[in-house]
Amino acid sequence: MASPEEDSPPDMEFSVTSGETSASLSLVQRGQAAQATVDSSDLLFLLEKQITVELQRRRADLFFLHAAAIVLRGRVCLLAAESGGGKSTTTWGMLHHGFDYLTDELSPVDTRSMRVFPYPHAICLKRQPPDSYPLPPSAMHLGRTIHIPASSLPSATVSEPRPLGAVFLLKYQPDLPAPEVRAIGPAEAGARLYTNALNALAHTDHGLDAVARIAEHVPCFSVSSAALPPTCRQIRAAFEQALADSPHA
């Protein structure tokens, strides 16, 4: 996580200790029972899960989406996908195409102002990216996952909320000869976006109203992604056109 350089006490505090065996680790959140993990990859997964749950509990006013958020010309491009749908790899690629970084894993949206808050999480890849988007030396390889610290990204990390500009719903289809990006209506966008909601039950009408507001507020697109470079180019072109056409720009 990237954090402001401030001398202030932490909002959440965790400690890590060795488990019963040399290979095991235990994670303890202040005031709660210890949870055992097998290795460093499991430990990181458990830590991120606990932080995510705690953030949703403390900021129930925000609508949390399992999505990445990148920024161009002051507006947020939201990238949402199911697990394995190419969200993080596409995010890593887009940062080489002029976009700045807001978050890779968790996008908290204020549905009243339609601003997306930063969550500068290390980009987590499940596979090696294409050679045209090489990993930095600081990338951490933890077996099943690769983590790229926010401080090592090829673009700036945005530290303030930014207004939403468009939503892209991704599905990785490696057999496609070329990526496909198409505009979709609010009904389809809302239905697909709802599957990426993390705290929907904390909101009015089980989060349906929040999803409808997002889908109706900005242009939405379905992306069948293939090779990463042309996918990134098409997403940027569609986003720039959306900004040019949007009354909110």
Average pLDDT, the chain: 89
Please say if the pLDDT value at position 38 is more than 70. Answer: no
- 3-class DSSP assignment, residue 215: helix
Same domain (yes/no): 144, 106: yes
* Residue range(s) defining the domain that contains residue 67: 63-245
pLDDT at 2: 63
Looking at the whole model, is its pTM more than 0.85?
Answer: yes
Same domain (yes/no): 99, 30: no
Pairing of strands 25-29, 35-37: antiparallel
Same domain (yes/no): 84, 205: yes
In a domain, 9, yes or no: no
At 113-134, the pLDDT tens digits run 999 999 998 999 988 999 999 9
Confidence at 144, pLDDT banded by 50, 70, 90: confident
Quick one: three-class SS letters along 93-142? HHCCCCCEEEECCCEEEECCCCEECCECCCEEECCCCCCCCCCCCCCEEC
Quick one: CA dihedral 170, 175, 180, 185, positive or negative?
A: negative
pLDDT at 8: 74
Same domain (yes/no): 37, 153: no
Please say if the pLDDT value at position 31 is more than 80. Answer: no
At 91-103, the pLDDT tens digits run 999 999 999 999 9
Same domain (yes/no): 77, 107: yes
Same domain (yes/no): 190, 222: yes
Same domain (yes/no): 163, 71: yes
The domain tally of the chain equals 2
When mean pLDDT is compared over 157-161, 173-177, 242-246, the highest value belongs to 157-161
Token code pair at residue 227: 């090779």
Counting residues of the chain whose pLDDT is more than 70, the rounded percentage is 93
CATH number at residue 84: 3.90.228.20
C-alpha span between 153 and 229 (Å, rounded)? 17
